[in-house]
Amino acid sequence: MKYQDSEATTSRWKRWIKRFGIGGIIFFTVKGIITSTLIYFLGKNFWQVIKGYLASWFE
């Protein structure tokens, strides 16, 4: 049973690599890390950042 699960996981990775290539996998991984980091840091004070940015337009 455990062998079957690892085989399914391996075939899923092979399918992804065939579809996107190594560069695509690296791109989506880095994009996910950057997006998660931005959401984490901007989520804390998101509205203050937006308010300050918009206020700079009208000065």
Q: What is the pLDDT of residues 1-48, one digit of tens each?
A: 455 555 566 787 788 778 878 888 888 889 989 888 887 777 777 777
Residue 1: its pLDDT value, please?
45
Residue 6: its pLDDT value, please?
58
| Tokens linked to 49 | 């950042």
Contact 20, 28 (CB under 8 A): yes
Residue 35: its pLDDT value, please?
85
pTM over 0.85: no
